[in-house]
Amino acid sequence: MAIAARRKNRLDEVVADIAAIGGTARSYALDVTDKSVIQSVVAAIIADFGRLDVLINNAGLMPIRPMAEVNTDEWDQMIDVNLKGTLYGIAAALPGFLEQGSGHIINLSSVAGIKVFAPGGTVYSGTKFAVSAISEGLRPRWGKRSGSRQSSLELSKAI
């Protein structure tokens, strides 16, 4: 099993927990806002394990702030993590999935991607609506051609 996230020390703890119950895992430091890093991590996973079978796009950022505060730096950060991070993950994994004829992409969204979480979560909701739309748009074009699967999960826990 391969796991990737920002905090390598926390990942290493999970790897140790998996090893303690007899499993095998490797951890990879990953910044979802850097597409070259995502591509490098996917390449490293394929080199280490021989293939990638499942990609779970789970990174998310949810600052709660009224739109009237016009915090565009925060908006940019949410778009980079929540939306671009999902797209970069898809871009890194999808070519390999198509080549091997199988794979599964799971994009984690939020109930805020179905119903706007206002007033403080408007931009967050916008990014999660986009993740849901991208997931829905990817499903019919990719799955029918390759036998692969794609999912979008909306999590009520986020609100």
Distance between CA atoms of residues 153 and 111, nearest Å: 9
List 75, 88, 117, 124, catalytic entry: 124
Q: How far is CA 22 from the centre of its chain?
A: 27
Quickly state the pLDDT bin for 79 (edges 50, 70, 90): very high
Output the six-digit token pair for 75: 């908006």
Domain membership flag for residue 17? no
pLDDT value for 113: 82
Q: Dump pLDDT digits (tens) for 112-150.
A: 888 887 789 999 999 999 999 998 888 765 555 545 455
Domain membership flag for residue 12? no
Domain membership flag for residue 60? yes
Q: Dump pLDDT digits (tens) for 83-95.
A: 999 999 999 999 9
Q: Determine what percent of the chain falls in helix, strand and coil, rounding each to the nearest 5.
A: 55, 15, 30
Q: How far is CA 28 from the centre of its chain?
A: 14
Quickly state the pLDDT bin for 110 (edges 50, 70, 90): confident
Mean pLDDT of 62-88: 95
Number of domains in the chain: 1
Q: What is the CATH classification number for the domain harbouring 75?
A: 3.40.50.720
Domain membership flag for residue 154? yes
Quickly state the pLDDT bin for 18 (edges 50, 70, 90): very high
Does residue 124 carry a catalytic annotation? yes
**N-to-C CA span, the chain:** 29
Look up the domain containing 58 and give its range. Answer: 54-158
pLDDT at 50 > cutoff 80: yes
Domain membership flag for residue 21? no
Burial class (CB in 10 A: 0-12, 13-18, 19+), 104: middle
Domain membership flag for residue 135? yes
Domain membership flag for residue 2? no
Quickly state the pLDDT bin for 101 (edges 50, 70, 90): confident
Domain membership flag for residue 40? no
pLDDT at 39 > cutoff 90: yes
pLDDT value for 118: 75
